[in-house]
Amino acid sequence: MMHKPLLSALLLLPLGAAAQTTYTPELLMKLGRLGEMQVSPDQKTVAYTVTRYSLADNKGQSDIWTVPAGGGPARQLTNTPATSENTLNWRPDGRLTFMSGEGGSDQLYVMNADGSGKQLLSAFPKEGVANLKYSPRANFLVYTQDVKVGKTVQDWFPDLPKADAKIIDDLNYRHWNQWDDYKVSHVFFQHIESDGMPSGRGKDVDIMAGEKFDAPLQPFGGSEQLAFSPDGSQIAYTSRKLTGKAEAESTNSDIYLYDTRKVQTQNLSEGLGGYDTEPVFSPDGSQIAWLSMATPGFESDRNGIVVYDFKTIKRYVVYDFKTEKRQDVTAGSEQAAGNVRWSSDGKTLYFTSPIAGTQQIFSVPAKGGKVKQLTKGAFNYNSFELVGKDAVIVNKTTQATPADLVRVDLKSGRETALTHINEQELAGVKTGKLESRMVMTTDGKQMQVYVTYPPDFDPAKKYPALLYCQGGPQSPISQSFSYRWNFQLMAAQGYIVVAPNRRGLPGFGTEWNNSISGDWGGQPIRDYLSAIDAVSAEPYVDKARLGCVGASYGGYSVYLLAGKHEGRFKTFIAHCGLYNLTSWYPSTEEMFFAKHDIGAAPWEQPQHKSYTEFNPQLFAQNWDTPILVIHGGKDFRVPEGQGMEAFGTAQLRGIPSRFLYFPNEGHWISKPQNAVLWNRVFFEWLGRTLQPEATK
């Protein structure tokens, strides 16, 4: 087997002129990325952010743009190279507020819809605030801020100011990519005076004072987990009011309602055992909806929509709310809901859901009833906002095109493009054909498989192929656009990419989604082999040059297949994969995930088949194929030891292998230069191990 030096191989990557005709890692880094989006009160204007990354500066920067909601030229409102704008809110007076870091920590600014009249509104402390929202009447403001609730080593031992250690007595001492910093995020609100000034003019109220819990849920929850009632007097928020081991073992978050007049908090979802998130009030405030998972400990359960009705009793000018009923209006549906929005008359709920390898918009009566699919096509409709009675502004992606805003008529399905964020960058860029085909699985089921072909594909030639193993383990392969696992980028390097929606991926029914739990190494792995066997039977696939790649559960799949593939593959790449389930189980952080998905702890007897039949480490004696291992030092979901064990195994067994280690990255690669390096090493490894002479 020939091994090219890394540097010379990197120089052979398609940079320069090729970047103008196909996707490259550098081109991906140049693309503007659509961020948040807000529709103005008169529904005539859409404000949104675009983030662009500088490879030289190794960071990104966001600016604010607007576009007419009915279509028209987009307009850039801010251009601040030294800082970023975020947290957009339209006020009832038609002015736009936003957060910006000019002069230090992020502060609140306001400007006119055309970008003029910029004014500083706040004097927030250096510690900073997040998730800021105005009430619909702009008479109240809500935001989150960290509050110290625990003790550091220096708090315990002030005479040891340079001691560098942590004293740990309970679980959840680290989460995803961050250690416990002895702080939690609390929800604050304050009155807004007639001049619009939110800070220093009224008393900030910590509505969670004295609590040791986070709101929103950390680390991924944001302002979507906070909501004002229409009159601003009530605040709904999401929190998991558990700590330590109890928090690590449970998904039981709840929807809490804080009454600013009574200074009281009520748990609206009490008794519901799983995740309850993203509350949204109806237009008249008489109802509130939220996403709800039924199964405790199952983080990938189907999200239903629970509606809570309030009975209003008028007392002078104040309303007193008492519970009337709470129901899952999507009960019996196979759709997993997200991004719930109320119709203007409060009679209908709109939401997104994955279906058959795409994401579409659905509706359901607010009182419960038939779920209807409103859109259909080879794309993802992601987050959206309603405009008028029958239209939405949508964040749209495909596997080949990054996010843009479109306006969609929900009755006719007619789509109007609003933004063209990367029109210049993508001009002349060739993409490969994307095919959706059905493959028969070993248990007689039909499985959808995406196949991406190289640009200018010639069926008379033979191509190497890559089996892509999805993570999650229950994250759909849909029409999302990825900045790392980008199938068009892989195809541009000359590979056919095979991406099966194997067992456990949503969008194909509850049974298909849930069946992976406790069966990681069973039918899902057989599904992978069914997919690659079906595609590699085509005459244009070079069966002597097959690779297998994946991350997280996909990385686990790579490690397991490395010991069970029976000679199918000539190379493997595993990013943040689980190599040894026995050592992974007690070292991960969200124990509810480990317990539910693996099925049992490794010390329980008799041992679960996850440890006796599905543990990749047990089959390392069969490893005989080159493998690239990638891992981040701040990955606490799959700790770095998993990658080190896998690489050490390959090295000690004399298997050609490389370890790409990012000491300051977590489960994902976030820094621009690291992202480009990741891709360069990825493709260099494939080029080295799948080149024709390597298979002779």
Active-site positions read 552, 635, 667
Q: Which residue, among 78, 101, 89, has the nearest Cα to 132 in the 3D structure?
A: 89
Residue among 286, 262, 291 nearest 275 (CA): 291
Tell me, what amino acid is at 286?
A: S
Burial 581-614 (b: 16+ CB within 10 A, else e): bbbbbeebbbbbbbbbbbbbebeeeeebbbbeeb
Report how far residue 397's alpha carbon sits from residue 374's, in angstroms, rounded to the nearest whole number: 17
Omega prior to 81 cis, within 30 of 0: no
Degrees to nearest 5, angle at CA 404 with 371 and 438: 55
Distance, CA of 189 to CA of 140 (rounded, Å): 7
Distance (Å, rounded) from C-alpha 146 to C-alpha 402?
33
Q: Whole-angstrom Cα distance, residue 96 to residue 93? A: 9
Contact present, 226 and 214 (Cβ < 8 Å): no
Instruction: Round to the nearest angstrom and report the end-to-end CA distance of the chain.
Output: 8
Cβ atoms 519, 513 nearer than 8 A: no
Give yes or no for a contact between 575 and 555, defined as CB atoms under 8 angstroms apart.
Answer: yes
Residue 368, phi-psi category: left (phi > 0), alpha (psi -120 to 50), beta (remainder): left
Phi, psi of 10 (to 5 degrees): -60, -35
- CA-based R_g, the chain, Å: 26
Distance CA 525, CA 449 (A): 14
Q: Which two tokens stand for residue 421?
A: 């964020």
d(CA 533, CA 217): 42
Spell out the long-range contacts of 392-398 with Cβ–Cβ below 8 A and sequence spacing 24 or more. Answer: 392/350, 392/361, 393/37, 393/39, 393/46, 393/69, 393/418, 394/361, 395/34, 395/37, 397/479, 397/480, 397/481, 398/479, 398/481
CA-nearest of 557, 560, 571, 578 to 658 is 571
Angle at 640 between CA 10 and CA 148, to 5 degrees: 120
Task: Please report the DSSP string for 32-50 in residue order.
Answer: -EEEEEEE-TTSSEEEEEE
Residue 376 near residue 314, CB atoms below 8 Å: no
Determine the 3-state secondary structure of 616 from DSSP: helix
